[in-house]
Structure 1
Amino acid sequence: MSDAQDSLTDGELQSEIELVGDLVVAASSSEGPLPQEEIDRLLGVKAGQEASSAEVIDPGEAIHPDQLIEPDE
């Protein structure tokens, strides 16, 4: 029966959940917004590292729930 439980484990998902948990703990214990440097440190992003596949979204640009987002090719 332990084989069935092992097959339901997703290591990448578990790592992402742990990262989000670390961010939540840090944000909830912070006096104000977390500085970008602290967020990068918690996520393991090196200083000056460029986003390769992630698209930067303008915070002023609203995304509506019904809006279709086309992937870049």
Structure 2
Amino acid sequence: METIDVIKASMQGDEFRGFLKGNIFKYISRYRKKNGVEDLHKAQWYVEKLTEYEMDQQDAAIYTGNGDGGN
């Protein structure tokens, strides 16, 4: 199990979203002064995790009948 999975399991949905968004903001806001492109790659990794999470949430809502299918 990866660390990100342990973190996700220990948080509620909004907490996990906030964690991901906070890391995205951190790496984007500091990239020019700290680690350059490496920080942009880290931000991108967190964007990918947030995208995966949101897609999973959307799929779960549609599957359970709690979503509108994106309409």
TM-score > 0.5 by shorter chain: no
Higher relative contact order (CA closer than 8 Å, sequence separation 6+) = 2
* TM-score normalised by the chain length of structure 1: 0.36
Task: Answer 1 or 2: which has greater helix percent.
Answer: 2
- Between structure 1 and structure 2, the one with the greater Rg is 1
